[in-house]
Every structure is written in C-alpha cells, then in structure tokens.
Amino acid sequence: MQKLKYLVLSIAIISSSVFAQEQEKVKPQGHTDQNKFRQMKDLLATPNETRTASGAPGYAYTQQKVDYVMNIRLDENKNQIFGDEKITYHNNSKDHLEYLWVQLDQNMRAKDSKTPDINTENLESPFYGPQSFTNANLKDRFDGGFNIEYVKNEDGSSLSHIINQTMMRINLPKPLAPGEVFKFQIKWWYNINDINVDGGRSGLETFPDGNNNYTIAQFYPRLCVYDNVEGWQNMQFWGRSEFALEFGDFEVKITVPADHVLEATGDLQNPKDVLSKEQQKRYEAAKKSFKDPVFIVTQEEAELAEKGRSAKTKTWHFKADQVRDFAFASSRKYIWDAMAVDINGRSVMAISLYPKEGNPLWEEHSTRVVANTLEEYSKLTFDYPYSKAVSVHSERQGMEYPMICFNYGRPNPDGTYSERTKRGMIGVITHEVGHNFFPMIVNSDERQWTWMDEGLNSFVETLAELDYDPNFITGNLPKDIVPYMGGDQSHLSPIMSQGDYVFQFGPNAYTKPAAGLYMLRHTIMGPELFDYAFRTYSQRWMFKHPTPADFFRTMEDASAMDLDWFWRGWFYTTDYTDIGVKEVKQYYLTDKPTEEAKKLAERYNMNLKDYEGKLIYYAEAENGVVPADAKTPSDFSVLNNYIASLSNDEKAKLKEAPKHFYQVTFDKPGGLVMPIIVELTYEDGTKERITYPAQIWRYNEHEVTKVYKTTKAITSIVVDPDLETADVDTSNNSWPKQEKESQFDKFKSKIEG
C-alpha cells in the first residue's frame, strides 16, 4: 500500500510538472517596453552641470578658445602656399591638459596617405581610352600634404610632437592647468592641388588662358576641439566627415600677386594698400545699395587683368573675431560685386567674386541669393552677427567657411544655361552661405554628427529657396526622400550614424533630416511652435558646441511637445512610413435590433423587447449598400421627443443630425508612427481635411479605427493627400481603392525608363 501511495503521488507530481510545462508553453513571454512612444532616456546622455535636461548649456559648461596670427604667401609660379602661424591656446576647461591635438587636413593628400587604401577597388570597365588609362595607371599620385618645417615654443625652443596621418599631437613641456594659456608657433608649406584633377574641398582651378582661381581652405594646422562630451575630438579626416573647430580671433596677412583680387574671412584692415581709389569708392557705394549689387570690379576690367601677369605682390590684411576657421580666395580673373543687406537695422555686405566664365548667371543671381539667404536664416535663427558673406565661383565646388564659401554653377561657354544649372547654382549658394549659421556659429561636431551640420542647414535652405522662388524645386521635402526610405534596408543607415561609414551619404545626412524637420514644422508641430523652439535652440547654442541631445531636448522644452517618438523613429532607425485605408464599413440607422445588439443584450441579460421603441441601432450596410428604407434621425420619435424636452438654449447648441455613418480602419504596414492626415470628399464635391496626432497609434501601432458621422455621403477617403509624411506606398492610401503606382514605384519606373 505504501508503494502504491508513493506511485500515485509520483504520478501526480509528474503530471503536475508536465501540466505546468504545457501551461508554460502557452503563456505569453515577458517583454521590455517596445512602445513607439516610450521615452528616450535609454538613448540620450544623462543631463549634468554642463548640459541641462532642458537642452541648454549648464552653469559649468566650458569651451576652449584658440587665437591665430598668420602670415601666408601664395606662390603662383609653383602653386605652393607657405605659412607661419602663432597660436595662443586658452584652456578654459576644468582639466589639466598634457598635450594638444592639431588637425593636418592636407595630409589626406600626402603621398603616404592611407585615405585611398580604405576604399575597395575593381576594374569597373573592360576598356579605357588613352587619357583615362594614363590617369589611372601612369600618373604619380599628387604630392600633397603639409611639410612641417618646425613646431616651436613661444621662446623659440623646439616642441616635442608626433604626426599620426591627419593629426599631430604636441606634447606640452608641463600640463596646462585650467585657466592657463599656452603659446606656440608652426611653420609649414604644401603643394596646392588642382581641384578638377586631384579633387579636394579647396585648391586651385586652372583656365586655358594660364590663370588660376585659388579657393584656399584647410590650409593651416588647426587645433582640434576639446569639450565636455568627447574630450579631444581627434578622429582622423578620411575626406568625408567635416571639421570640429574651436572659436577664436584671427589676424592674417596674405601675400599674393599684385594684380589679384582677394576676399577672405574677416574685415579688411588695409583697403588703401590693396584697392584702387576707384574700387574703394565703388565699395563705399555698395554699402548704401540695398536693392541691386554694385560692381567693384567689372567684367571688362577683369578681362583686361587676366591678360597680364604681375611680378609684384600685395599683402592683404584681415582680422576676424569669434570665428572657428579662416579661408580665402584669390585670382586676377575675378569680377567683384556687392550690396548691403538690412539685418534688423544693421547693414551686412553680400559679396560675390567670379570669373567671366560664370556670367551672365552669376551677376544676375549670386549676390542677390546671398542677401536673401542672410535675411531668411536670420528670421529663423538669430541676426547674422558678422560683417559680410562672400560667394566665390569655382567650377566644381560647394564648400563653406566663416563669411566665405566656394560654389559651382557654370553656364555653357556661350553664356546659355539650363534651368537645372540655374537652380543648382541658387541652391548651392543658399546652402553654403547658410552654413554660416550651421555649423560656423551653432558649432556642432561635423566629424561625429554630419546631420547636425548638413541636415539642419538643408532644412533652413529649403525655406530660404522657396522664399527666393516659390516654385523652386528644393529636393528636401518629405516626398523627395521616399525612394531612399523605401530602398534596400541593407544599404540604409540611421541618421544617428557617424558620417564616415553611412550608406548613401547625401540622403542620410542632408535630405532625410531636412525632410524630417520640414515635416515637424508643417505637419506635426505647426510653424508657430516649431519656429520658436528652433530659434531657441539656435540662440542657446550660438558660438557653442551642441550635441544631438541638446537639439532634441530644446525642441521639446520650448514647445511642450513630446517628440521622443519622432526622434527615435526618424533619427535612430531606418523604419519607413506606410499608412493606408484597410477597410471602410458603412452603417445606417434602424429601430430593429441587429445581431450584434442581440449578442450584447444576451451577454448582459437584457431583454430588448423591454426597450422596443426606445433604442436606435447602427446596422452595417451589406456590401456597402445602404437600404433605400434606411431611417434618418428625424424618423425616431424617441429622439424627437427627447430633443423637444430640451430648453431653447440647449437646442441651439445642437448641430444638424448626421445621416451617413462610416467606420474606417487605418493600418500601418510601415514601422514609423506618424500623424494620419485624412481628406474626405463628399457627394457635393466639397472636401474636409482632418489630422490625427501620431499618438493615435499609442495602444495599437498596427491599426486604428475612426468613425465619421456626416450629413452628406462620403465619396472618397485619401490618406496623406499632399505627401507630407514620406509615405513609401500610396497605393493603399485611398478608398475606394485606386489602382496607381506608389511614389517609390513611380520613381523606379522613371529611372529604369
């Protein structure tokens, strides 16, 4: 008996265990919070005394200051540039620094540069013409890169240093304490690259007449940023991700051939030494011309100058305070025009330099586009603080520096140009001048977060271009990013990726963030809330180093809008938008209980006969066809009697009773949550637009339902009619369903065709 007892007990235990295991199989598993609207505390850095939870700089925020005094000489005969610089480094941090890091960007073009080695290679073509074969196989690599002659202490003693590709570490004699200043000097030279032959962001452009157009930048050893977030920002420069730099004061003297016209960052200190009396007079006239540019050097004068070649030199002297970089342009071929721009009661000069090869396009548009850009960016951010903005024409460039930028957009040799060339030139000037605001003043880390520079700038550029020409094709609207968003996921990167390794750099760093901000302004937040928050961010971080978290937090802090769902989806993932109309059910009114009503009554032990004549029922129309004898609200005496019992004031508040009822299910095949923008078209042709906030998806991110009770029959329902949300598949956006290509398929067909 005892054995039998234990046997029964063992069987029971085993059975219980098996049952428990079976139960465990069917139990839903636990999970972490994956809701699209969860907060971003897992992604953003913890606020601290240097960067607050509001997105503003904290009371302990610090940044370094670096001042430069430089003497530069341009050798036109050898196409070389020589320089010596005295650098004053202010340690405003709370840290003791054992060494300084200096950027040597020109070393990317040195003969021993590792930059070409990081790119994969293949024989793309089975055959080559003699010129392309020669360029690919017989030419020596361009001998670029800095030749450092010395690195010395202020007293002339040598400083210990080591060069690691595009970075140079200067070993300090003793740690630099907080609040201390270190002064040192560097002497250097390098061969200037031909932009159209050797590539590059700066260099020279050669012309058949033997003249050159020098657009010179990244030309001097520059201090890296040392900040509260990264410490030293000393990531190597591989050619794509741009530059993190400290603010400082510059005094620069540039010696060039005497017949050159030169412009640079900063204010010219010696106009009487380098300009003729006539040029000075014309420039003074330009300061008073707010409508049209004034020529300081005409095309006729430039054409005359380019026929000669002076053996003498002139030295141009510039000073610039609180800038993060310095660049200049020099050539005897330049036409030079300028006009004044009123920035909130303060005059700023808009200036253009261009060879005759840029005309007539450049004299018609360049300086006017510069002026428009300064005006529009100032409205959206802060008043432009510098004295001028200069646009310089070079055939294949689009690059920005404080107060000066280099831009493409060249007409045909006979002076004709296409609308595309004109649009490209207006776009690149707007974009590069706009970079004065981002990142030349709102000084984000371009090496780390390209989108904070290019994306924010491309967004404001879009608004400035549309102000210049309301029909301008910007390429930065939500509809423009659809082909990218709907593309091969293996070749997409989140916006929040370091720029050197992202796929499809242009859409990722420029178009997608710009389109996202446009969407925030026009669809999600509205211009009033967005503009105030964006302006707050811009003004908080003028002449400082913001991070992505500072931008995200400020936009929410200044608008009272929870946007974590948007940042998380649009910036941290490669999800896409696809919202459609899944189903539309039509209903009509009846006084007879429906099957659904009977089931509900049964569940709650209701006897519907007790409520005969007292209830109004919704019945689903079979196949969407409402019976001819369907009742209207006025047919129900119980409703009429109730309304009659109301006071006149209460009756006055009632609206016209609906006669048509629709239950619409919206689904979301795409991963992104977005507002649902719905356009209803009624039987009389009138339309109604309704926007539901993205939070409509908070409980069910796959599908939601809305009910429309109308006095007029609905003939069509369209989701996102103006393509505001970058929906990659519009074939499911309509009811009745319309057979049409999605936006992505249209683009694909256009390319393949």
d(Cα 334, Cα 303) in Å, to the nearest integer? 9
pLDDT higher than 50, residue 15: no
DSSP 366-411: HHHHHHHHHHHHHHHS----SSEEEEEE-TT-EEEETTEEEE----
pLDDT of residue 19: 45
pLDDT of residue 23: 53
Which among 537, 572, 531 is positioned nearest to 553, based on CA atoms?
537
Which among 397, 400, 297, 283 is positioned nearest to 350, based on CA atoms?
283
CATH architecture under which domain 62-118+134-246 falls: Sandwich (2.60)
pLDDT higher than 90, residue 729: yes
d(Cα 17, Cα 11) in Å, to the nearest integer? 10
Q: Does an H or E element contain 680, and which?
A: strand 676-682
pLDDT of residue 157: 97
* CA 407 remoteness from chain centre: 19
On the CB side of 228, CA atoms within 13 Å amount to 23
d(Cα 253, Cα 69) in Å, to the nearest integer? 8
d(Cα 363, Cα 360) in Å, to the nearest integer? 6
Q: Which residues pair with 72 in a beta bridge?
A: 83, 254
Q: What's the burial of 494, exposed, middle or buried (CB within 10 Å: 0-12/13-18/19+)?
A: middle
pLDDT higher than 80, residue 744: no
* pLDDT tens digits, one per residue of 442-497: 999 999 999 999 999 999 999 999 999 999 999 999 999 999 999 999 999 999 99
List C-alpha distances in Å: 665 to 583, 703, 708, 739: 5, 7, 11, 19
81-99: average pLDDT: 98
pLDDT of residue 9: 37
pLDDT of residue 288: 97
pTM as predicted? 0.92
Q: What is the number of H-type helices and E-type strands within the chain?
A: 20, 31
* pLDDT tens digits, one per residue of 578-605: 999 999 999 999 999 999 999 999 999 9
Which among 374, 472, 494, 485 is positioned nearest to 427, based on CA atoms?
472
pLDDT higher than 70, residue 295: yes
**349-381 as b/e, with b when 16 or more CB fall inside 10 Å?**
bbbbbbbbbbbebbbebbbbbbbbbbbbbbbbb
731-742: average pLDDT: 80
In the block, tokens 């949550």 appear at: 673
d(Cα 433, Cα 429) in Å, to the nearest integer? 6
Mean pLDDT value across the chain: 93
On the CB side of 55, CA atoms within 13 Å amount to 22
* φ, ψ for residue 50, nearest 5 deg: -95, -30
d(Cα 83, Cα 637) in Å, to the nearest integer? 96
* Radius of gyration (C-alpha) of the chain in whole angstroms: 34
Contacts of 378 (CB under 8 A, 6+ apart): 343, 344, 384
| Pair of tokens at residue 306 | 């380019």
pLDDT higher than 80, residue 399: yes
Pairing of strands 617-620, 580-590: antiparallel
* pLDDT tens digits, one per residue of 655-677: 999 999 999 999 999 999 999 99
Ramachandran assignment for 752, one of left (phi > 0), alpha (psi -120 to 50 degrees), beta (any other): alpha
Q: What's the burial of 701, exposed, middle or buried (CB within 10 Å: 0-12/13-18/19+)?
A: middle
User: In angstroms, how far apart are the furthest CA atoms of the chain?
Assistant: 125
d(Cα 235, Cα 230) in Å, to the nearest integer? 11
| Pair of tokens at residue 547 | 């991070």
pLDDT higher than 50, residue 708: yes
Contacts of 719 (CB under 8 A, 6+ apart): 579, 580, 581, 666, 676, 677, 678, 679, 727, 733, 734
Give residue limits of the domains in the chain: 62-118+134-246, 589-652, 660-752
Percent of the chain with pLDDT over 70: 94
| Pair of tokens at residue 527 | 């211009």
d(Cα 556, Cα 533) in Å, to the nearest integer? 8
CB atoms within 10 A of CB 433: 30
